[in-house]
Structure 1
């Protein structure tokens, strides 16, 4: 298998409340969920939107503030996935609940949907990589979800709606959602929702899934011997490295430099942000400002690049993070106003927000590396203008190169740490 980069992420929001309308206790057991089709189609992408900067700001705040990711630990989030799930929730929020989400997302509701539509339009142009995005709404089948909300999810997010039976079989509903997630992420995330995440009181679950798999534009070759790597905690550890020589775009700023590794489809790339020695914590604290500048790379001749192979898996509870950002009413069962989705103010509230992200970067295996080495051997040796060796803790951004919207944002504090 020639795959060099795999990323998958899930964001889910659980909404719980008393039922709205009808007598659900008399309802028969629910069949397997089937998708409800909305009456509208996906909106066209806007000609311009600050999608990249909006997602960069949110992603950096999430990475730095999430309690499940320590400053000196490996971790990643998907700004795209989290933004999508929160924006879908915002489409049904009203009053103060809506205002709290607008402040976190940094824009109004129409701009939020436009940003996701613009990014999705770029993602749809992919070629030569595997990339899938999916949004799903899983309501209690007796819940009378408002048609304008369903239409908004369809037009702004391309979301599918799958009614399930939380009242009589909440574990069966949970398994249905997890199976959907597992399929969308090619089994990299087999269980998003733990057993205690849903109950008979659950009324809605909103899920965004993102999966990316692609080869490097220039195939990486595994280095034969482990190389020393300085962790974020200041410890030297032997690390498996990979290398290649190509016209890698680069950028630099105060205390950092970045190098962009294009995928086979050059609309997408992974950009590494490497702090200067002793500057990891300082650059991390400024990540929201650094990321947009680090993505503004330019080609500057041939670069001999050496980077670690790494694998990062993160499972995070985002509710405390969002509360720290000032989102309170949305989680209050008495005050939350999600009446744009269903019922009246106070009928629905957000009872949990979970996020999982998996990112793996490898040279593509011995077979792929051998084929590349043979190809290089028959050509002329390139002129190397500089060497970049990523031998200390760094940050990474997987993004589309048009909007510069971060699909994944993470930190590799110690690449030798195995993932669970």
Structure 2
């Protein structure tokens, strides 16, 4: 409520009112899982409210259950991590390291995706090759290859984008590859919602052309504390025990606030397809066509995203700076 609601809506770009917003999110979750299922891919979107201390308003619990198909249960740190491990198909072992002694509840979201390429990469064509991490550093990693297959390819002045479809073509992975080895930072600086939407529209408008594709196999595991970046963006009220207002959850203003926001993600790309998982925990505490095939070789840092092509929703967005496992 109040400043808490306004800041969260502004920073997260939530334009509709709460009632419409919840309804929209619930519908999108169901549409995304249905689209993936109908195209033979696996997409799980799971939500939960874990009561770790005090109680929460019945209306709020009912909203989570009916709109987000959320599980609501009492539990501790071990129960929270076990839930995430299960919903991420074993890929994210631990989302939280600790709980505040004043913890009231933890809101959980987990997304798991496993997709097979429309045209799989022949394993016999995978060979070690150089990946230019920077102008000064190079590593050798396994590169997958697809020869003379048709892909949608967008050419811009400073980068190219390629769409690699999954089976059924309802979902795809888009790779955004800067022309320059050190061009990733400049590309990321232009990665606004408006620009990305325009680039994807332009990519979808391109007729497929034959491409010699080289893509490194990679496996990424990341972990982020999202409280500092959210505060830096201007979302400060939800984290302040003096002014946070979550009265819609059944607690008076100043008695319930967000103590931690943790996000972990796992993505693996290989010849068969892509496996990806992500989980977020929010802890609440009280007190052009050419005759020869185009060559698209992702041999230096690039961005990638996995999207639902019908809705345009992004399931995962990431960067590959060094695909070699540590």
Which TM-score band (shorter chain)?
Answer: 0.7 to 0.9
Structure 2 residue runs of 5 or longer lacking an equivalent are 274-290
Partner of 1:401: 309
SS at match of 2:36: coil
Partner of 2:294: 386
- The answer to whether the 8 A contact 1:310-1:360 is kept is yes
- The answer to whether the 8 A contact 1:220-1:244 is kept is yes
Partner of 1:326: 234
Q: What is the root-mean-square deviation of aligned Cα atoms in Å?
A: 2.0
Residues 215, 265 of structure 1: alpha-carbon distance in 2 compared, 3 angstrom cutoff: same
Give the C-alpha shift of residue 115 in structure 1: 4.3
Partner of 2:48: 136
Q: Distance in 1 between matches of 2:221 and 2:43?
A: 19
- The answer to whether the 8 A contact 2:127-2:144 is kept is no
What's the TM-score once normalised by structure 2's chain length? Answer: 0.85
Matched, 1:126 2:45: no
Q: Distance in 1 between matches of 2:23 and 2:161?
A: 29
The number of residues matched between the two structures is 297
Residues 234, 102 of structure 1: alpha-carbon distance in 2 compared, 3 angstrom cutoff: farther
Q: Distance in 2 between matches of 1:208 and 1:395?
A: 24
In structure 1, which of residues 231, 243, 249 is the aligned counterpart of residue 133 of structure 2? 231
Residues 115, 228 of structure 1: alpha-carbon distance in 2 compared, 3 angstrom cutoff: farther
- The answer to whether the 8 A contact 1:185-1:210 is kept is yes
Q: Distance in 1 between matches of 2:13 and 2:322?
A: 32
Residues 224, 346 of structure 1: alpha-carbon distance in 2 compared, 3 angstrom cutoff: closer
- The answer to whether the 8 A contact 1:256-1:275 is kept is yes
Q: Distance in 1 between matches of 2:49 and 2:198?
A: 35
SS at match of 2:130: strand
Alignment of structure 1 residues 168-207 onto 2, 5 Å: 173-194=76-97, 197-207=98-108
SS at match of 2:140: strand
Structure 1 residue runs of 5 or longer lacking an equivalent are 1-93, 165-172, 366-382
Partner of 2:175: 272
In structure 2, which of residues 59, 67, 71 is the aligned counterpart of residue 160 of structure 1? 71
Residues 332, 275 of structure 1: alpha-carbon distance in 2 compared, 3 angstrom cutoff: same
- The answer to whether the 8 A contact 2:304-2:317 is kept is yes
Partner of 2:200: 295
Q: Distance in 1 between matches of 2:195 and 2:250?
A: 41
Structure with more of its chain in strand, by fraction:
2
- The answer to whether the 8 A contact 2:126-2:145 is kept is no
Q: Distance in 2 between matches of 1:96 and 1:224?
A: 54
Q: Distance in 1 between matches of 2:157 and 2:218?
A: 26
Partner of 2:219: 311
Per-residue CA deviation, residues 236-265 of structure 1 (Å, 9 max, x unaligned), is 222210011422122232311100111113
Per-residue CA deviation, residues 343-370 of structure 1 (Å, 9 max, x unaligned), is 21111110000000010101139xxxxx
Give the C-alpha shift of residue 233 in structure 1: 5.7
Give the C-alpha shift of residue 126 in structure 1: 1.9
Partner of 2:288: none
What's the TM-score once normalised by structure 1's chain length? Answer: 0.67
Partner of 1:262: 165
Partner of 2:264: 356
Q: Distance in 2 between matches of 1:232 and 1:118?
A: 43
- The answer to whether the 8 A contact 2:54-2:105 is kept is no
Residues 350, 327 of structure 1: alpha-carbon distance in 2 compared, 3 angstrom cutoff: same
Residues 240, 290 of structure 1: alpha-carbon distance in 2 compared, 3 angstrom cutoff: farther
